[in-house]
Copies of this chain bind each other. A is one copy, B any other.
C-alpha cells in the first residue's frame, strides 16, 4: 500500500517528524511518501492561509492519483481542499480534522480542541464542527497564542501551556477527550495523554490509520456526494 502525504505548506521542516511518527504506527506493508507545496504559505492557521494553499494541494493530489498511490492524506488540521480533492480523485482522501472529530466522538461525549495558532484559528474549526453537526459535542476550542511556526523553538513552553489548557478544558469546559488541532505537534499527544485522565488525539496519526483502513476495506468517498468535475477551461 502506497500513501502520499501532502503537507500543504511551503516548508519541509515538519516532514521528518511526520515520517518518524508514521513509521512507528503504520502497517508494515504501508509505504509513505511525504511532499510539500512549491508555492503557498509556510503554515496554515486560518482561511486566509487555506486560500493560499488550496490549488497547489489540489495539484499535488491529482498527481498522486496518476502516480498510482492508493490514498492521499492532506496533512493539516484545516483540511484544505479536502472536498475539492475528493471530487477529482477516486482513491480515498483523508483529512486530519474530519478524522479526528469522528474518532473523538467515539471516545467520549464532549471534546475540546486545543492547539497553537492563536484566536485566529478558532473560526475555521467552529465552522467545520457546525458543518459536521457536532457542535453539541464541542466542549471548547482553546488556542494558545503561540503560532505554528513557533513550535520548533518553543516546544517545551508549548507543551506546558497545552497541558495547562487541557486541564482547564477538562475541569471547566467538561472535556472528556482532547483533540490536538495541529498536525505539527508531533508526539505531543502521547506526552499529554500520559499526564491527563483522558484520551488525546493526534490527528495526523488517526488520519494515517483511517487511510490504511479505507484502502484495505476497498472503501472510498462517494462519487454521488463528491462528483467528478466537468471539463472546462481553467486558466493557470
* A-to-B contact residues, CB < 8 Å: 10, 25, 27-28, 37-43, 45-52, 54-55, 57-58, 81, 83-84, 86-88, 98-99, 102-103, 105-110, 118-120, 123-124, 126-127, 130-137, 147, 149, 170, 176-177, 190, 193, 197-199, 201-202, 205-206, 209-210, 212-213, 216-230, 232-236
A14 to chain B, nearest CB (A): 15
- A217 adjacent to B222 (CB under 8 Å): no
Query: Taking the full assembly, how many copies of this chain does it contain?
Result: 6
Q: How far is the CA of A185 from the CA of B134 in the complex (A)?
A: 30
Who on chain B is nearest to A205 by CB? B217
Q: Given A205-B217, A223-B197, A230-B45, do A127 and B109 touch, yes or no (CB 8 Å)?
A: yes
- A199 adjacent to B221 (CB under 8 Å): yes
Residues of chain B lying within 8 A (CB to CB) of residue A209: 209, 212-213, 216-217
Q: How far is the CA of A201 from the CA of B222 in the complex (A)?
A: 11
- B230 adjacent to A118 (CB under 8 Å): yes
